[in-house]
Amino acid sequence: MSEQDQNNAPAAASSPTSPETQTENGTAGVTESATLANGLTREQQDRVDLARAYAQELQQTVFKDLLEAERKKKEEQSKPPPGTVNPGLLSGLDPRNVSVMSRLYVGSINFELTDEHIHRVFSEFGPVRSVSMSKDPVSGRHKGFGFVEYDVPEAATLAMEVMNGTILGGRQLKIGRPNNYAVAVAQGFEQPPSERIYVANINEAIAEDVLKEIFAPFGEVRECVLAPDIATRKHKGWGFIEFADTDAAEQAAVAMNGFSLGNLVLRVRKCVVGGPIGDGMAALDALPQEDAANPAVSSLQAGAAGLPQPAVRPPQQVMEVAASINKSIIGAADSATASTTGAQATNGLRDAQQNAINIGSESPVVLLQNVVGNREEVDDDLAADMAGEGLKCGQIVKVVVHIGSLQELGGGGNGITQNGDEVSIFIHFADVSSTTKAVELFDGRWFGGRRVSAKSFDFEKYRVLTCADTMMYIP
């Protein structure tokens, strides 16, 4: 044996062969309890491999079915409810972006106003999803600003166009978009067809076919859908109308925005977001019949926010249909009132005439009579002239020139003639306190050789009488 072999022999003898090496070489002495490189014994490793194989089998069978069921459940939950009329959601737009585009910042709010007040005022432009006011944790009062979120972006756009700068509770509102609005718009959304318009603040008595008939004089109407309320089986007061051509849609949007129909003032504008508009009220036909309670419908004071002056007058056919609808609605309301008065029904007309004119300061409306002799003397500047004088008494919502009989106004007086139709002028102030000043300013004053009569007039009566009038001035 060489010297090198002698030097290596002790090292080889002192280094026993590892179990792995013995196994690879087929060397005897390896047991099932031998430790593997991962720290497990062979028996434990075999059990882990069996568990993995079983888990993979479950993943392909039971777990697969469970995951598929969960996926379908999430898809169903993400779908809009039956009858939804919301192009943004129906087109697949991210609901978060729809929410941002439908949200408004409202600042400079009177501290005496509550969430309910804001909700009532802004509901005139569409379905309000929520009103959130920033509150002071110490006093519990709001800080004078908050957010209003609608169901559809069109409602938010309309509200911002009309309400920004409007006086509410003695303060001038500041309306704007939230900070993340630009981000939502940048995400992109389907553009709406130019033939489609959004209509809000629709009286619940106006059905889809009736609304379609009212807008038909502007051009062929392809679709008219109103958002259904599953609970009440009535529409929610808003929807979409799609014409056959763009010109008809543009003319209808201008002419019908601010048009009085069924004691409410229509809010109309071109659409903001594109996509399908759903089935509307037809979706209720597929639902089971239920006896749903009819919640009381609160009517907002039309015009409280101010109305845009129509640049195009509605066609005569629209006026006639609207007048017929208004009469039927008013007649139904009068019948309901008469049925509840019992023995007092015979005196209803006399009481209505006596109470039509409210001499107190409970109403923001002032009635001017004997300003002109007859309808032939009415010109386009009459309402504007009266508004110019009325502004000396306070902020004006609108001035309406109304042609009607003295009987419907509650009788004559102050030397006003009883024959024929009377030209009456209503000045609707933003503040009730302005009516007293206006009566003092106008009553007994001479105008064009006539002595004017001015009285405070009942607000609800005013709304009914002027619901179809179009001769008006908006400051």
**294-320 pLDDT, tens per residue?**
433 333 333 333 444 445 667 777 777
Say if 178 falls within a structural domain.
yes
Q: Is the pLDDT of residue 410 over 70?
A: no
- Do 385 and 466 fall into the same domain? yes
DSSP state of 62: H
- Position 27 scores a pLDDT of 44
pLDDT band at 43; cut points 50, 70, 90:
confident
Number of domains in the chain: 3
- Position 293 scores a pLDDT of 40
Q: Is the pLDDT of residue 83 over 70?
A: no
What is the domain extent for residue 143? 95-186
- Position 333 scores a pLDDT of 59
Domain boundary among 231, 256, 285: 285
Domain boundary among 229, 262, 285: 285
Identify whether the C-beta of residue 416 lies closer than 8 Å to the C-beta of residue 433: no
Q: Is the pLDDT of residue 197 over 90?
A: yes
Structure tokens at 4: 């090198």
Q: Span 126-140, mean pLDDT?
A: 88
Say if 10 falls within a structural domain.
no
CB atoms within 10 A of CB 368: 26
Identify whether the C-beta of residue 271 lies closer than 8 Å to the C-beta of residue 198: yes
Q: Is the pLDDT of residue 291 over 50?
A: no
- Position 79 scores a pLDDT of 61
- Do 164 and 245 fall into the same domain? no
Say if 113 falls within a structural domain.
yes
Say if 129 falls within a structural domain.
yes
Q: Is the pLDDT of residue 234 over 50?
A: yes
The set of residues, in sequence order, having a beta carbon less than 8 Å from that of 187 and lying 6+ positions away, is 94, 97
pLDDT band at 290; cut points 50, 70, 90:
low
Say if 332 falls within a structural domain.
no
- Position 336 scores a pLDDT of 57
Rounded Cα–Cα distance for residues 185 and 158 (Å) = 17
pLDDT band at 194; cut points 50, 70, 90:
very high
- Do 176 and 229 fall into the same domain? no
Q: Is the pLDDT of residue 283 over 60?
A: yes
- Do 102 and 154 fall into the same domain? yes
Rounded Cα–Cα distance for residues 155 and 273 (Å) = 11
- Do 388 and 461 fall into the same domain? yes
CATH code of residue 410: 3.30.70.330
Q: Span 405-419, mean pLDDT?
A: 51
Residue 154: closest CA among 68, 33, 239, 67: 239
- Do 144 and 104 fall into the same domain? yes
- Position 134 scores a pLDDT of 86
**pTM for the full predicted model:** 0.55
pLDDT band at 123; cut points 50, 70, 90:
very high
Rounded Cα–Cα distance for residues 223 and 205 (Å) = 19
Say if 245 falls within a structural domain.
yes
Q: What average pLDDT does the chain have?
A: 77
Residue 258: strand, helix, or coil: coil
- Do 162 and 266 fall into the same domain? no
Q: Span 241-248, mean pLDDT?
A: 95
Say if 439 falls within a structural domain.
yes
Q: Among the listed ranges 54-58, 61-65, 219-223, 269-273, which one has the minimum average pLDDT value? A: 61-65
**329-368 pLDDT, tens per residue?**
666 655 555 555 444 433 433 343 333 333 334 789 999 9
Comparing 428 with 337, the larger pLDDT belongs to: 428
- Do 164 and 112 fall into the same domain? yes
- Do 358 and 461 fall into the same domain? yes
- Do 223 and 172 fall into the same domain? no
pLDDT band at 37; cut points 50, 70, 90:
confident
Q: Span 421-427, mean pLDDT?
A: 84
- Do 140 and 202 fall into the same domain? no
- Position 358 scores a pLDDT of 35
Domain boundary among 269, 285, 301: 285
Q: Is the pLDDT of residue 29 over 70?
A: no
- Position 408 scores a pLDDT of 65
- Position 233 scores a pLDDT of 86
Comparing 16 with 436, the larger pLDDT belongs to: 436
Rounded Cα–Cα distance for residues 57 and 170 (Å) = 71
pLDDT band at 57; cut points 50, 70, 90:
confident
Say if 314 falls within a structural domain.
no
Rounded Cα–Cα distance for residues 132 and 142 (Å) = 10
Comparing 266 with 264, the larger pLDDT belongs to: 266
- Do 214 and 243 fall into the same domain? yes
Q: Is the pLDDT of residue 282 over 90?
A: no
